[in-house]
Structure 1
């Protein structure tokens, strides 16, 4: 069972911050999950929303600020996280905007972090297709919260490594179906103890959670 810390250890510390990722490492996660947008100077930065309003004391679009300005608000660059984690666990990079694909791949290719420890996921399947076009080996995870059959078909098409469904889409049959096609199944975001017990019963391959210490 692969333990995946959602936005670090979001249940304990502010999401997508270096402190949250450090906490996830202390909780012995196998992988951390994070979200990436581009700064004004086209640097991949780690934040879930298009704006900095919800998670910082500032206001405005992420794309309106330079990476240095965003760092002052506590928003790390993807490079900052790579250096912090330093290959201690895998990193699931969720692409939040298509435009970020090239910058993310360029950073991964710079060898700051081992490519074989990277998993790229997105709800934007065009972005995943673009990733695969540029790199035929990197691990890809297909995110879905609606149509599992479509996700399976697309995962097969782009030679994905894993499928990341909302956990409420899952049952014994469809988990087994995905695994029989050699896809890992990583449901999100599983926090309640009852839901954790449920997805464990389904024999999923990993669990994305805000509370790694509950798994």
Structure 2
């Protein structure tokens, strides 16, 4: 059996404030193969690393990220102590240490994200194979695919693996990313037979991690990447 990719969810979300450089460093310290992060495009155009469409849950700010300039966002605190990072800052931190799964959360994120990916491939020590760009928003994935045939794409799903496979074929994706709630041994097999990796999220409990290993998934995204070390 191929080794299972150990993927830190928003860094090491179970240990430290999500989507921060400090949380990502913690995941790196645990020896992950990949970091998963979420991105939005802010008003001034930068790609920022944060999960929600609004600032209220994770920061001391308020309002929609898409309506804020980077000058404002960079002054906010996440979890009372940390900063919202730019995508470029995350790439600088993990360069040469592991690969990255960039989830396109916000609208109009595809092109700006792909611009960054292309820049890092052409001018830094990155390869296209170091990236996966994923999303629930199929229109954003088609924008990414239009931008480049080389960027690996992952299709997120929390409803139907078979539908995700259909979309994956249309997008020439490399992976399907199902929620653990819809994963079965059978649809893992079907997905792999269709030519896709199976990257499952969010798997935190030891028994669930063991079950996903038994099912033969390609990768596991966890808030507690330290629990994946024995996988």
Pick from 56, 64, 67 the counterpart of residue 61 of structure 1.
64
Pick from 96, 111, 131 the counterpart of residue 102 of structure 1.
111
Q: Which residue of 2 aligns with 1:128?
A: 141
Matched, 1:192 2:201: no
TM-score scaled by length of structure 1: 0.96
Q: Which residue of 2 aligns with 1:204?
A: 217
Matched, 1:22 2:25: yes
Q: Which residue of 1 aligns with 2:178?
A: 165
Q: Which residue of 1 aligns with 2:79?
A: none
Do the aligned partners of 2:154 and 2:176 also contact (CA within 8 Å) in 1? yes
Q: Secondary structure at the match of 1:129?
A: helix
Query: Deviation at 1:148?
Result: 1.2
Query: Deviation at 1:69?
Result: 2.4
Identify unmatched segments of 5+ residues in structure 2: 77-82
Deviations along 1:9-37, one digit per CA (max 9) or x if unpaired, are 00000000000011010010000000000
Do the aligned partners of 1:171 and 1:202 also contact (CA within 8 Å) in 2? yes
Pick from 7, 18, 22 the counterpart of residue 4 of structure 1.
7
- CA distance in structure 2 between the partners assigned to 1:5 and 1:97 by the alignment: 21
- CA distance in structure 2 between the partners assigned to 1:87 and 1:5 by the alignment: 16
* RMSD of aligned residue pairs (Cα, Å): 1.1
Matched, 1:75 2:75: no
Query: Deviation at 1:176?
Result: 0.7
The within-5 A match list for 1:28-67 is 28-67=31-70
Do the aligned partners of 1:9 and 1:23 also contact (CA within 8 Å) in 2? yes
Do the aligned partners of 2:43 and 2:68 also contact (CA within 8 Å) in 1? yes
Q: Secondary structure at the match of 1:98?
A: coil
Query: Deviation at 1:174?
Result: 0.9
- CA distance in structure 1 between the partners assigned to 2:195 and 2:107 by the alignment: 27
Do the aligned partners of 1:123 and 1:144 also contact (CA within 8 Å) in 2? yes
Do the aligned partners of 1:97 and 1:127 also contact (CA within 8 Å) in 2? no
Deviations along 1:35-54, one digit per CA (max 9) or x if unpaired, are 00011201000000111111
Q: Secondary structure at the match of 1:37?
A: strand
- CA distance in structure 1 between the partners assigned to 2:116 and 2:39 by the alignment: 12
TM-score scaled by length of structure 2: 0.90
Q: 4+ residue stretches of structure 1 with deviation over 3 A?
A: none
Q: How many equivalent residue pairs?
A: 215
Do the aligned partners of 2:41 and 2:107 also contact (CA within 8 Å) in 1? no
- CA distance in structure 1 between the partners assigned to 2:110 and 2:94 by the alignment: 21
Deviations along 1:75-119, one digit per CA (max 9) or x if unpaired, are 101011111112311010000123111111111111246132110
Query: Deviation at 1:187?
Result: 0.6
- Deviates most, 49-58 or 11-20: 49-58
